[in-house]
Amino acid sequence: MSAKINKTTTGPNIPKDHPRYTAMMIRESIIKGCETKVVAPAGLIAQGRGEAFDYIIGEKTEKFSLAAIEAAACAFLLAEYPVISVNGNIAQIAAKDLVKLSKESGAPLEINLFYRTPGREEAILKVLKEAGAKTVLGVSGNSSVIKELASDRRIVDPNGILKADMVFVPLEDGDRTEALVKIGKKVVTVDLNPLSRTPRKAHVSIIDNITRVLPLLTAKIKSYKKKKKEELKSIYDSYDNKKVLKDSLVFMSERLLKLSTESGV
Ligand code: ATP
Ligand code: MG
């Protein structure tokens, strides 16, 4: 892993030469986020599920992720009004990179939570502001609802997700992804688990760790700004999400098979 993580933890002393140092730091950061209310208890479980798939992938960005990142960059640049949906886990482990993505793409950040416990929105807002965010949507009390959804995630900002034509929703739940697609939004997600409903319902699914994806996506948007709209459209149109999901599963199966036949395993 090469991504830089906000080291907010005072947890166990993980030696820098630990082979899984970055992954351990992310885990510690998520635990710390639970103490400050930024991360919901269910976020710990989501983190564990993500870690398991990252282990199988080998904690590296693979081709299927790069292909989806290219399509995602096109989706950002082709959208009239793209919005970045932020939940607790992402704010905790990637706040600075979210702010950079927002600045490069011009897409505002909107806090959108499944678990709306008192003080949580404020805690996430604080983390984003400390990371340099100027405006953050979804916190003004000025809200609308997506009627297709039953959970608290139906509450959205009328100046954000509600009017967006493209929504970037990393680490999302399947129901909400489905609802966003149903009401006509273009949906781009990041999820380490290609079997979860979210990447199966989204238009573009980046099967990779959010901490590795954000810097790559921001850089891709920066370089693609030089491209003409037609070229962006042609890259986007040639993208095949089903193939990317299939490639990620084939990659995982082959990697497991290879590991299982190596000596000593
Ligand atoms: P559904 O099947 O409806 O999509 P779910 O249980 O997968 O439901 P969530 O718990 O909201 O829904 O999903 C969180 C997802 O985020 C999980 O699939 C998990 O693998 C993934 N995840 C967790 N941490 C990371 C991370 N750092 N980077 C990318 N994906 C992650
Ligand atoms: Mg999911």
Is-contact 210 197, C-beta < 8 A? no
- The residue whose CA has the least distance to atom 12 of ligand 1 is 173
What's the 93 CA to ligand 2 centre distance in angstroms?
Answer: 18
Q: How many CB atoms lie within 10 A of CB 167?
A: 29
User: Given this model, what pLDDT does residue 2 score?
Assistant: 45
Across 78-93, b (16+ Cβ under 10 Å) vs e yields bbeebbbbbbbbbbbb
Q: Work out the average pLDDT over 18-46.
A: 93
pLDDT band for 120, please (50, 70, 90 cuts): very high
Is the pLDDT assigned to residue 140 strictly greater than 80? no
What's the 264 CA to ligand 2 centre distance in angstroms?
Answer: 34
For 102, half-sphere exposure in the C-beta direction (CA atoms, 13 angstrom radius) is 25
Pocket mutation for ligand 1, best pick of 171, 208, 211, 212 (most atoms within 8 Å of C-beta): 171
What's the 46 CA to ligand 2 centre distance in angstroms?
Answer: 9
pLDDT in tens, 77-108: 999 999 999 999 999 999 999 999 999 999 99
Is the pLDDT assigned to residue 6 strictly greater than 80? no
pLDDT in tens, 241-261: 999 999 999 999 999 999 999
Q: Work out the average pLDDT over 118-142.
A: 91
Reading the block at residue 71, the tokens are: 């399509």
pLDDT in tens, 146-184: 888 877 778 888 999 999 999 999 998 888 899 999 999
Residue at token pair 């599963």: 249
pTM: 0.93
Helix axes 41-57 and 88-105, enclosed angle (nearest 10)? 70
CA distances from 85 to 25, 99, 100, 177 (A): 24, 12, 14, 11
